[in-house]
């Protein structure tokens, strides 16, 4: 089966990891700060906190922004569950905003409407988690303007978007947001096995997230409430977690970062082949904004169901039967039983629901060979046009 995404690990990556394994410190050594430094250098963020997953990064980002009971967090109706769960971890209420049918990102119109209504009801969100779906940046400028009117904080869930650019600058610089989160799960743009990072330009948020990552424990005299009892001494000054990244992971991440731009170029190269092939087929391809550069984490097509004689489900299973490891990103969050239990109902997010009926994610990753891309295109075209693969 050709997977929809997979890591690209080089000999240099392997050597970097082995070097750590042979060293004295396999966690909390020099590699985590080194990895954080290269993330800051690339994104132009002031601070970075590397953690064991993007989910953890989203959690400590919400906590650092003081999200708690009686607060509300909004996110996009089409995203991975973690973009919403981070709010629930903090005891907050969550709500969703419908997507833009062209970019699949949060719809600015839907957001404006929802904010105006929420203001009247005194139910404005404290945080909005915006998701750069597929690696295509959201309209951050617009969202930032709304945050000034309505007073919410912005977390960019950039799990798909390391190396992407908005208005010619790298995602993660927090020019329009408070905190940006990246994921390094193996299907994402670069990997650390499991891992994530939160970037910010705010020294206070950096300090809070650093404490939250490691039990709320400090060894810094300036942070302590009493004078140090001796050089063994540390103080727990707040409640934190063990969300640390290991040096083994950070070594892999540091090595992978050197090939970030190459990975994205390869993704663009493959996506262009798909784009050309699908021009004349009854499918739609989501749009990318002219003032942005997508990291192309996912290649998603939407079936024009009124123009084909085969169902979405059958297209999907025929592709899988032919060893094309397609996927669907994502099931609308309000469809999940867990979120339904908060009272969300089918029909609430029409664009997200329509999208879900038509969407298929095709394989896209840097080591995907051109021959495999051609094979996928042939199989897909036959299924769409003939309703089978004969």
Ligand X SMILES: *Cc1c(COP(=O)(O)O)cnc(C)c1O
Binding residues vs ligand X (CB under 6 A): 53-55, 79-80, 82-83, 131, 157, 159-160, 183, 185, 196
What's the order of all strands across the beta sheet hosting 93-97? Answer: 47-51, 196-200, 179-183, 153-157, 127-131, 72-76, 93-97
Q: What is the dihedral of CA 301, 305, 310, 316, to 10 degrees?
A: 30
- Asked if residue 83 lies in contact with residue 129, where contact means CB atoms within 8 angstroms, the answer is yes
Comparing CB distances to ligand X, the nearer of 281 and 359 is 359
Which residues are bridge partners to 155 per DSSP? Answer: 129, 179
How far apart CA 321 and CA 127 sit, in angstroms, is 42
| Residue listed under structure tokens 């139910």 | 123
Which residues are bridge partners to 196 per DSSP? Answer: 51, 183
Comparing CB distances to ligand X, the nearer of 54 and 315 is 54
User: What is the 3-state secondary structure of 170-181?
Assistant: ECCCCCCCCEEE
Minimum CB separation of residue 183 from ligand X in Å reads 4
Comparing CB distances to ligand X, the nearer of 92 and 318 is 92
C-alpha 330, offset from chain centre: 12
C-alpha 35, offset from chain centre: 19
Minimum CB separation of residue 300 from ligand X in Å reads 13
Comparing CB distances to ligand X, the nearer of 187 and 372 is 187
Residue 232 CB burial class (10 angstroms; 0-12, 13-18, ≥19): exposed
Minimum CB separation of residue 219 from ligand X in Å reads 27
Minimum CB separation of residue 160 from ligand X in Å reads 6
Comparing CB distances to ligand X, the nearer of 54 and 164 is 54
Minimum CB separation of residue 279 from ligand X in Å reads 28
Comparing CB distances to ligand X, the nearer of 355 and 380 is 355
Minimum CB separation of residue 51 from ligand X in Å reads 9
Minimum CB separation of residue 158 from ligand X in Å reads 8
Comparing CB distances to ligand X, the nearer of 53 and 322 is 53
Comparing CB distances to ligand X, the nearer of 55 and 200 is 55
Minimum CB separation of residue 215 from ligand X in Å reads 20
- In whole angstroms, how far apart are CA 15 and each of 20, 85, 258, 367? 9, 36, 14, 20
Give the other-Cβ count within 10 Å of 271's Cβ. Answer: 20
Minimum CB separation of residue 387 from ligand X in Å reads 32
Nearest of 88, 134, 65 to residue 285 by alpha carbon: 134
- Asked if residue 246 lies in contact with residue 27, where contact means CB atoms within 8 angstroms, the answer is yes
Comparing CB distances to ligand X, the nearer of 127 and 315 is 127
Between helices 203-213 and 54-64, what is the axis angle to 10°?
130
| Residue listed under structure tokens 């309000």 | 334
């Amino acid at each position: 089966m050709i997977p929809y995404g997979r890591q690209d690990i080089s000999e240099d990556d392997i050597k970097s990891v082995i070097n750590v394994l042979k060293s004295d410190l396999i966690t909390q050594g020099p590699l985590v700060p080194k990895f954080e430094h290269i993330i800051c250098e690339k994104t132009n963020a002031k601070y970075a906190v590397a953690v064991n997953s993007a989910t953890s990064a989203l959690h400590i980002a919400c906590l650092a922004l003081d999200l708690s009971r009686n607060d509300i967090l909004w996110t996009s109706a089409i995203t991975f569950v973690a973009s919403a769960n981070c709010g629930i971890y903090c005891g907050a209420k969550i709500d969703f905003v419908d997507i833009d049918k062209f970019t699949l990102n949060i719809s600015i119109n839907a957001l404006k409407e929802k904010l105006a209504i929420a203001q009247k009801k005194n139910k404005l969100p404290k945080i909005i988690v915006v998701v750069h779906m597929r690696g295509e940046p959201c309209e951050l400028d617009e969202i930032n303007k709304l945050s000034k009117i309505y007073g919410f904080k912005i977390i960019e869930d950039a799990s798909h978007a390391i190396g992407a650019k908005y208005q010619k600058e790298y995602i993660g610089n927090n020019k329009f947001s408070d905190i940006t989160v990246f994921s390094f799960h193996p299907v994402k743009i670069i990997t650390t096995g499991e891992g994530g990072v939160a970037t910010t330009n705010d020294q206070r948020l950096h300090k809070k997230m650093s404490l939250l990552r490691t039990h709320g424990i400090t060894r810094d005299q300036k942070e302590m409430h009493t004078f140090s009892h001796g050089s063994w001494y540390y103080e727990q000054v707040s409640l934190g977690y063990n969300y640390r990244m290991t040096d083994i992971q950070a070594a892999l991440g540091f090595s992978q970062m050197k090939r970030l731009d190459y990975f994205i170029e390869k993704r663009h190269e493959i996506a262009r082949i798909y784009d050309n092939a699908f021009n004349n087929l009854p499918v739609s391809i989501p749009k990318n904004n002219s003032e942005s550069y997508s990291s192309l984490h996912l290649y998603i097509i939407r079936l024009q169901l009124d123009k084909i004689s085969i169902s979405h489900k059958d297209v999907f299973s025929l592709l899988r039967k032919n060893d094309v490891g397609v996927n669907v990103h994502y099931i609308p969050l309000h469809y999940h039983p867990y979120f339904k239990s908060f009272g969300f109902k089918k029909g609430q997010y029409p664009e997200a629901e329509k999208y879900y009926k038509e969407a298929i994610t095709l394989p896209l990753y840097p080591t995907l060979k051109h021959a495999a891309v051609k094979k996928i295109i042939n199989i897909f075209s036959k299924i769409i046009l003939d309703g089978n693969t004969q």
